[in-house]
């Protein structure tokens, strides 16, 4: 493996990994990003019909995407951006099914998400104050708010200030105009149901398959791209992080074990600054493999909560039609 000297390792090249790499690189730190998937070209990542539809049908019939196909984004994106479950299988208790959407390629799932950027509210950070159930976060909304500001400004986020405490307002560069039907629907939601109605908060329209640049909603078109431009970041692909070891003197992570997915060989990388920025479940897998019960050189989970009380990014869709005469009941 041909890599240059580095000061920090970032695991994952998606939304979180891109920002982590950029933050470190702009401070002059040499960063090594480890990505489990391959590099893809802009044209290859785009959705091309009817070719993509045929691939989706094949993915369902061969069980290559038996679970991935349940995600609504699967049916509008290039199916090649969803992991092959025959190569990367996972299981769950029969009575507790779990849909784990995986994207193993440069940019991760930032290439397939919907681009909606809602903020968590103060109540989300301290749920126990509201209903007395569950643990509170160790940080507050006020502490995270400046970082929301930075991301929204950096990415160029659209939205409208609605003064709804459950979804705090952000720093927007403008509004995405509503269509005529959306305007009618919104007015009926307010008049008939007395519910608040907000415009989309997030990135601008989806980019065309003909565009050569990666969209800013992906790390490849924003954070990761800018981090690579600093000259302080290098990426190795097709390497899966298995676990890490702890320096007994400092009790900090100091060594990673990675697996070459092309030949199955394992290698070790030493580093005193390691950031786990894979998806929620992928990061959890690394942590569980690195805990003392599984790895005598790992860390000890004194809380007993590792693997509990977590939630991965999920998505649902609801489809409906609007009458042409605009007479909604």
Provide mean pLDDT across the span 83-112: 91
pLDDT for the residue 84: 94
State phi, psi for 302 to the nearest 5 degrees: -70, -20
CA dist., res. 128 & res. 81, Å (int): 38
Indicate the pairing of strand 31-34 with strand 233-236.
parallel
Among 60-74, 207-221, 234-248, name the one with the lowest average pLDDT. 207-221
Q: Is 287 helix (H, G, I), strand (E, B) or coil?
A: helix
pLDDT for the residue 288: 95
Residues 80, 10 share a domain? yes
CA dist., res. 32 & res. 236, Å (int): 8
Three-point CA angle 64, 69, 75, nearest 5°: 120
Q: Choose one of 133, 166, 193: the last residue of a domain.
A: 193
Q: For residue 287, what pLDDT band results from cuts at 50, 70 and 90?
A: very high
Residues in the chain: 329
Provide mean pLDDT across the span 103-119: 93
Residues 128, 109 share a domain? no
Provide mean pLDDT across the span 235-253: 94
Any long-range contacts for 14-17 (C-beta under 8 Å, 24+ apart)? 14/103, 14/107, 14/108, 14/109, 14/110, 14/219, 14/277, 14/278, 14/279, 15/108, 15/109, 15/110, 15/113, 15/219, 15/223, 16/277, 17/108, 17/219, 17/224, 17/275, 17/277, 17/278
Q: Is residue 199 part of a domain?
A: no
Residues 222, 107 share a domain? yes
Largest pairwise CA distance in the chain = 73
- Are 113 and 217 contacting, i.e. CB atoms less than 8 angstroms apart? yes
Residues 67, 22 share a domain? yes
Q: Choose one of 164, 193, 222: the last residue of a domain.
A: 193
CA dist., res. 15 & res. 297, Å (int): 30
Residue matched to tokens 């009575």: 95
Give the tens place of pLDDT for each residue, 159-204: 999 999 999 999 999 998 898 888 988 998 999 999 999 988 999 8
Closest CA to 301 of 309, 310, 311, 290: 290
Q: For residue 98, what pLDDT band results from cuts at 50, 70 and 90?
A: confident
pLDDT of 220 over the 90 cut: yes
Q: Is residue 161 part of a domain?
A: yes
Predicted TM-score of the model (pTM): 0.90
Domain limits for position 243 = 1-113+212-329
Provide mean pLDDT across the span 254-270: 96
Count of domains for the chain: 2
Q: Which residues neighbour 213 within 8 Å (Cβ) at sequence distance 6 or greater?
A: 42, 207, 221
Q: For residue 268, what pLDDT band results from cuts at 50, 70 and 90?
A: very high
CA dist., res. 316 & res. 15, Å (int): 20
Q: For residue 131, what pLDDT band results from cuts at 50, 70 and 90?
A: confident
Three-point CA angle 53, 56, 58, nearest 5°: 110
pLDDT for the residue 326: 54
Provide mean pLDDT across the span 148-165: 94
Q: Is residue 308 part of a domain?
A: yes
pLDDT for the residue 2: 83
Cα radius of gyration rounded to whole Å, the chain = 22
Q: Is residue 93 part of a domain?
A: yes
Residues 245, 169 share a domain? no
Residues 324, 301 share a domain? yes
Provide mean pLDDT across the span 89-105: 89
Residues 216, 173 share a domain? no
Q: Choose one of 148, 166, 193: the last residue of a domain.
A: 193
Average pLDDT over all residues of the chain: 91
Highest mean pLDDT among 7-21, 82-96, 209-223, 304-318: 7-21
Residues 101, 8 share a domain? yes
Q: Is residue 198 part of a domain?
A: no
Residues 326, 220 share a domain? yes
Q: Which residues neighbour 27 within 8 Å (Cβ) at sequence distance 6 or greater?
A: none
Q: Is residue 83 part of a domain?
A: yes
Q: Is residue 164 part of a domain?
A: yes
Residues 220, 302 share a domain? yes
pLDDT of 147 over the 90 cut: yes
pLDDT for the residue 325: 65
Q: CATH number of the domain that 317 lies in?
A: 3.50.50.60
Q: Is residue 200 part of a domain?
A: no
Q: Is 226 helix (H, G, I), strand (E, B) or coil?
A: helix
Residues 220, 138 share a domain? no
Residues 9, 104 share a domain? yes
Provide mean pLDDT across the span 238-245: 97
pLDDT for the residue 129: 85
* DSSP-assigned letters across all residues of 104-145: -STTGGGGTS--B-PPPPHHHH-THHHHS-SPPPSS-HHHHH
pLDDT of 205 over the 70 cut: yes
């Amino acid at each position: 493996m041909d890599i240059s000297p580095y000061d920090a390792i970032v695991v994952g090249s998606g939304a979180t990994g891109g920002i982590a790499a950029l933050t470190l690189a702009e401070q002059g730190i040499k960063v090594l990003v480890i990505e489990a998937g391959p590099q893809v070209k802009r044209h290859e990542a785009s959705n091309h019909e009817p070719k993509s539809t045929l691939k989706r049908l094949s993915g369902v019939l061969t069980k290559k995407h038996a679970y991935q196909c349940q995600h609504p984004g699967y049916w509008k994106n290039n199916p090649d951006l969803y992991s092959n479950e025959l190569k990367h299988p996972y299981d769950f208790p029969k009575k507790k099914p779990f849909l784990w959407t995986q994207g193993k390629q440069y940019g991760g799932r930032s290439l397939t998400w919907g681009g909606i950027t809602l903020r968590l509210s103060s109540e989300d950070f301290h749920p126990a104050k509201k209903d007395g159930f569950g643990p509170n976060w160790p940080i507050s909304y006020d502490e995270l708010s400046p970082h929301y500001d930075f991301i929204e400004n950096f990415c160029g986020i659209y939205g409208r200030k609605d003064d709804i405490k459950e979804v705090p307002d952000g720093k927007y560069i403008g509004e995405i105009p509503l269509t005529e039907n959306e305007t009618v629907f919104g007015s009926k939601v307010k008049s008939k149901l007395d519910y608040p109605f907000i415009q989309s908060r997030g990135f601008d329209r989806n980019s065309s398959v003909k565009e050569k640049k990666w969209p800013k909603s992906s790390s490849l078109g924003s954070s990761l791209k800018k981090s690579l431009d600093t000259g302080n970041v290098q990426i190795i692909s097709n390497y899966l992080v298995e676990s890490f070891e702890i320096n007994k003197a400092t009790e900090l992570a100091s060594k990673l074990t990675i697996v070459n997915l092309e030949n199955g060989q394992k290698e070790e990388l030493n580093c005193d600054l390691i950031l786990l920025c894979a998806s929620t479940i992928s990061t959890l897998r690394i942590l569980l493999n690195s805990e003392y019960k599984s790895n005598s050189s790992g860390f000890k989970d004194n809380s007993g909560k590792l693997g509990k009380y977590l939630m991965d990014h999920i998505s649902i869709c609801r489809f409906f039609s609007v009458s042409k005469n605009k007479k909604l009941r």
